[in-house]
Each structure stands twice: as structure tokens, then as C-alpha cells.
Chains A and B, each alone.
Chain A
């Protein structure tokens, strides 16, 4: 057996990212790792590369015990990893990128002819011939950069194990086809390929076997050819939708917001939907499917290329965050720390940031009133904190998120766009957020909830629209969806 992993466990603080993974892959085969976002695939690969040390478990490579001390060690042992996020160095040439970290050298200096030979060989192995070696990587297209990155994994000839983590995310169909041919060639030369992808058709194209991960554990595997898609999806989704989701009764009213043909630079392609008062619309899609981009184009954070947005039937033109907020549309970013909150400012300042004017006297902010107002919202949303003067960075993720939503309520936004509102917060706080979303709908507000966690959307939404590779599909009532059909739609496969 080329590679075995047994009982791999890894915790980050209280979160158990890997809870016992068993994996084996023979030489010259391709194993597809399948699982939802957060199932532990990327963490498992970081354990394999030595970037993280496992808390428990053993690994062997060609029968020898394998415990890499870091990325360099694993590379030297013949384990090459191509990461999901781009790690191309923009200011170095293509050849320099491919040999980065192990340049052929004579004394202090790089042997340029040898470097170019290695780089050319790696790209030949991949079947790439149209990228010159001497251009700066930053001048290439994203797809070409991805190919350079994959070539880096092949700089020392065929590795024993090659990990491709979502390698096709930014590739065109023809580049992806070339990549699959390269995988075939590598398999034939004895390399074991671990292939991570959300796209079933790709897994079917390249993989011999599959392994499903769920909640950090290996759930089951088998031959890819025998796998029935419905079974795979059932294994990935697994859990039943629990009563974690309190249903607050609410009725759908008049159409509030109409979006027609909205298109952004990359995504969305052509988003069309209508949002009614008191409606909770869920947008489900995998990472990279263009959900965040849709909200950003709608909110005017990114310039829309086409399409129109109508509020109460009146077009909302020249959208900017400022104009949208004035019109009563608010957004909570998926990235609380970077985009959502000013972490070292007090809760009161964060909460009243967008609408300070009512809290001023003679042009000065009345701090007493500001804190009073903030305290009111904190009580209503059960924010746990010492008081409104506490810096928001000291709160837990769930409480931070409540303040981010409270800001929109203080602003009296009628339409709330929530991007991954429960990401990274604990289960109790999640339930609070779900209840709050229901209550806001009952007040007649309209909400768009973007999430890659399917159970919460099925639990709280009135309508759900799946998103697949930049396309937002038409919303349908939540009762029309099953976990199977929703996942199938979001990975572009026909419903089973």
C-alpha cells in the first residue's frame, strides 16, 4: 500500500476538526475525497503535508512510518500538495515559481539552465506547453497560475503522492481536461493521486475509488464506478435536520425587492429573484459558487455589470453601500473580523456606526444615549457582554454576530442580507440567531441568508435558491427541496 492513514485525529481548541480518519490508497491509483465544506478534507491534507501535526493516529508511506516535520520534509519524501488557495509568487518568473524552495544552485547562485530544464520537464509532465518560462507569474491568468502551481508539485518528476485540493476551481473546461489527462499519465507512472473536489463528474472522470468524510470522520468508501450519486450525497449530508431550528410563524406579504438579471464581473451570471416582506430566502451553494459576489453586487460593494434592482417597484440605481443603507437594505459580511466589525471599538460604537445622526446633540455624539440605545439592543438580542462599552473583539463569535445584526436593526433596515451568519459560532448561539431571523421575518422584514450549511437553510427558510458556478437558480419553496435535490442542484448534477 502506497499511503495509509489510521485513526487520524486533530482538534483546534474545542473544535474537533478530525475525529478519526482511516484512509488507504495503493500506488498508481486515484482516490477522490468527498465531503461537505468543513468536513475536514483540507485539514487532513495539512496533516499529510506536515503543516499540522495530528493529535493521534499513524501514517505509512510505502510501508514505512511517515510523520513529516513540515512542508519541506513531506516534499522530500515524495508527497506533493497543491493547495486550494493560490500560492503563486507574482513577482517571480514561471520557472522560478516552479523550483521555489529547492533551486538548483552552484554556490550562492542559481543554475538557470538547470532551473529552466526542471521547470520545462514539470510542465511537460502536466501537458502544458503554452506558458513561457520567463514571464512573471503575476502576468498570467488565474487559470495559468493554477497550472504553474500544479507544476510545482511535479518539479522533482513524478511524486509518490500528489494531492490536488479543488484544482479545477479556476480552470476552464479545456484546462481541466488537460489536468485530467495529466492525472491519468501520473497514475500510469505509479503516482498516487488524492483528488478533492465538490464536482461529482470530475471525481468520476479521474478517481478509481472514493472516501466520504463527514464531521471529521471517514464515513465510507468504495469503487467510484459502482457509486450511486444519491448514496454519496446521503453519506455526505448524513444527519437528520433536528429541531435546532425554531419556527417563528410569519406570513409572506407584498413583494419588497425585485432583482432582474443581476450580473457581476465573475459572478453572478444572471441572478433573478423577488423577495417578499416577511420572507426568508436561503441561498445555498458551495464555496466559490458566487454567493458572496451576488450579495456584494446587490449591495453595491462591487459594480454590477448588468441587471436592475427594484425596491417597491422603483429602480434602485447607482447602488453603493451608502445608498442601499439609506434605502433600508443592510448587509452582514461573512468576514466579521475583516469586513464586519471594528474589533477594538466598543460594542456601542459598532452598533450605532451606520446611524449616529439620531444620537447627536448640537452635532456631538451623545455617548450616554449611544450606550443606552446599544444596551437596549443587547438586551433584546441577548448579547452576553460586560456592557456596551466593552470592546467587541473580546466577545465570542456568536455575540459579535448578534451585534452585527443589531447594527442593521438600529438602522431599521427592512431588507437584511446575511452572508454565512452562523459561520464559526457555537450551536447555542446558532439557535439564537435562527430564532432572531424568524422574529425579524415576523416583523415583516425580508431576509436573504447565504449559507453552505444546508440543514440551517432547510430549517429556517421559506424559499431556497441554489447557486452553482455563478448561476443562481430560481428560488423554490423550502418544501420542494430535499437535502439530496438541493445538493444535486448546487453541484450541477441532475436531481436523482
Chain B
């Protein structure tokens, strides 16, 4: 029984991902400080802890964090979506084409709608055919990627400058409008924060959110209690898709183009962020806050590794190890 553990241990375990994030941040701060050579003016002992670097980490984590807020809802309901990376590219391509023809406002609608439709398609296949979500979305991973390439005619679609461009810019440049200079951080980070709060509220307090936990935790009980399991399944995949469409839009803004080959394998980063934040592939557990912390943890890892000039292969090994460790701790947490 959990009750038999002392309170401090329970708190520590529950807040595990958060403490891991703080520890990791402090470790990188120390490592960068130690590595800096005081004789060498090119190295900066404060490079990691500098406010500008924090803005960079946040901007680098925002897209994965939004996606993780989406997938965590699907995972709570007992599902999974492997098509996220492909749908990000598809939404970006559709957004870029719309931007060129109809302007930035229409591009926002088009990208979000693309994501939501792709998600609803996944959800409908899962709910109606009974094929496992892993297989369904493994299929749509290919379909969405192919569609993106086809629509873009195998090329990147460059976009003309609009007010969407600086959304993901960590620091405003001299040519950027005044409103951007007024913001402390990139607009994309603020969007991600709003998304996280909304998803958190939905999961924690709404009827729909609580039903997702019930469906993922005990599908038979959910059916016996009269929950509309199929409707909820379609809705949760569509909602996740909507957020993935938003990620695609931000990706397009960041790259200034719709690139059908972007975000290959991004779904693994997004799912990893949710898992590090405590979500379970078995369903029934997960929080929006955890997903965001997971995304930040990976952002800190990437950023710190770059400052320490570790090669990317080292980063890959570390991130892989972090996923296994996070899930290992999760098993400890679940043990009674």
C-alpha cells in the first residue's frame, strides 16, 4: 500500500520528473562552469545559466511540449499515435501552401484543421475497426508522410515573410515589430504554456478528461458504466491531432517553409516526453504538467550537451538512457 510509505518518499516519487529536471539543470550549470577556462575569453562560465539560454531552451522545447500535451491525453485513454511526426510535416506543408494563397490567418486554420482531421481519422479507425492503435498509426505514419510529399510535390514550400515568422524566434531581431520586443520570451513558448494549462484543466476537472482516465484504466468498467467509449476515442485522437497541427504550424513558422521531410521520428521525442513525465503505455495515468516537464528535460539535455560540445551520438545515448530510467522509476512508483 502506498500509505505505508513515509510522506517525504511519496512526494519525492510523485514529483520525480520535476526533481530530475532541477538536478539535470544544476548538473549542466556546474559542468559548463567547470569546463569554462577563465584564461580563455571565448568560453563563458555562465553560458548555461544565462537568461538568454533559458529562453533558447524554452523555445527549443515548445513544439515537443505541445505535442506531448496532445499525446498524453491519447495515452491516458490507453491509445498511442505514431503518426505525429508525419502529421506535423503534413500540417506544415498544408499551412505553407495556404499561407502563400490565402494569408496567415487562413494558414492557421488550415494547419490546425489538417491535424484534427488526421487525428480524427486515426481515432475513427481505432474505434471502428478494433485494430490496435499501434498498427493503425504505424499505417497513417506512412500515409501522412506520403501525402505531405505529394502535396508539396517533393519540394519545400518557402513562405513569404508574414507576422507568423517570429513566433518561434527566441530573441527578437532589429527588424521585428515592437510587440515582439515587449515579450520576455518567444510567442510560441507562451502558446505552449496556454496549451498546457488548458489540457491540464481538461484532464483534471472536466467530465471528458475523467472519462479518458476511466477508459484507459478499465475499458470494461467504462462500458458497463455507460461511457461513450468510441466517441471519446475519436474525440481524443482528434484533439491530439489539433495540437499536432499547432506544432506543425509552429514548425513551419520556425523553418519559414513547409518541409515535407521535417520532423521524421519526432513522434518518438513527443512520446518520450510524455513517458518521462509519468504517462504509461498501459493507459490510465499521465498529466499535462508531467508531459511539459518531460519535454523540458529533453530540451535541457539537448541544450546542455551542445554547450559542452558533446557529439550528437552521445546525446542520443543519454536521451535513450533517460527514457529507460524514467520508466524504471515509474515501475517502482507503481509497485505496492
Interface residues of A (CB under 8 A from B): 51, 70-72, 75, 83, 85, 87-92, 96, 100-103, 105, 108-110, 112, 139, 152
Contact = CB atoms under 8 A, between A and B. Distances in A.
B206 interface: yes
Interface of B: 1-3, 202, 205-208, 210, 213-214, 216-218, 220-227, 284-285, 336
Contact of B206 (A83, A85, A89, A110): A110
A72 B213 CA distance: 19
Given A70-B226, A101-B227, A91 B208 contact: no
Contacts of B210: 92, 96, 100, 103, 110
Contact of B205 (A70, A75, A109, A152): A109
B226 A71 contact: yes
A90 B217 contact: yes
Nearest to B286: A91
Given A91-B284, A109-B205, A110-B205, A101 B226 contact: yes
B59 to A, nearest CB: 31
Given A108-B206, A110-B210, A139-B3, A87 B284 contact: no
5 contacts: A87-B221, A88-B218, A105-B207, A110-B207, A139-B336
Contacts of A108: 202, 206-208
Given A71-B226, A101-B226, A110-B210, A89 B3 contact: no
A248 B172 CA distance: 93
A72 B226 CA distance: 5
B226 to A, nearest CB: 3
B298 to A, nearest CB: 25
Nearest to B76: A91
Contacts of B336: 139
Nearest to A108: B206
A170 to B, nearest CB: 16
B167 to A, nearest CB: 28
A71 B1 CA distance: 33
Given A110-B207, A139-B3, A91 B225 contact: no
B213 A89 contact: yes
Closest 9 CB pairs of A and B: A72-B226, A101-B225, A87-B221, A91-B284, A91-B217, A101-B226, A108-B206, A100-B225, A89-B218
A71 B225 contact: yes
A87 B320 CA distance: 37
A392 to B, nearest CB: 23
Given A75-B226, A101-B226, A139-B2, A88 B205 contact: no
A87 B213 CA distance: 14
A102 B221 CA distance: 13
Contacts of A139: 1-3, 336
Nearest to A86: B221
A239 to B, nearest CB: 34
A286 B53 CA distance: 68
Nearest to B1: A139
B290 to A, nearest CB: 14
A88 B221 contact: yes
A89 B217 contact: yes
A71 B226 CA distance: 6
Contact of A92 (B3, B217, B223): B217
A85 B224 CA distance: 11
B202 A83 contact: no
A92 B212 CA distance: 10
In this complex, which of B3, B206, B213, B225 has the most chain A Cβ atoms within 10 angstroms of its Cβ?
B225
Nearest to A87: B221
Contacts of B221: 87-89, 100
Given A71-B224, A87-B225, 10 more contacts: A85-B220, A87-B221, A89-B214, A89-B217, A89-B222, A90-B284, A91-B217, A92-B217, A100-B225, A108-B202
A140 to B, nearest CB: 9
Nearest to A105: B207
A8 to B, nearest CB: 21
A109 B226 contact: no
A83 B224 contact: yes
A77 B216 CA distance: 28
Contacts of B206: 108-110
A72 B1 CA distance: 34
A89 B214 CA distance: 6
Contacts of A112: 205
Contacts of B284: 89-91
A100 B214 contact: yes
Given A87-B224, A87-B225, A101-B226, A92 B205 contact: no
A179 B327 CA distance: 41
Contacts of A51: 224
Nearest to B217: A91
A188 B202 CA distance: 42
Contacts of B222: 89, 100-101
B223 to A, nearest CB: 8
Nearest to B208: A108
Contacts of B220: 85, 87
Contacts of A72: 226
Contacts of A96: 210, 214
Nearest to B225: A101
A75 B225 CA distance: 9
Contacts of B223: 71
In this complex, which of B224, B285, B336 has the most chain A Cβ atoms within 10 angstroms of its Cβ?
B224
Contacts of A92: 210, 213-214, 217
A71 B223 CA distance: 8
B333 to A, nearest CB: 12
A108 B198 CA distance: 12
In this complex, which of A70, A75, A92 has the most chain B Cβ atoms within 10 angstroms of its Cβ?
A92
Contacts of A71: 223-226
A109 B209 CA distance: 9
A181 B188 CA distance: 60
Contacts of A100: 210, 214, 221-222, 225, 227
A127 B166 CA distance: 62
A91 B213 contact: yes
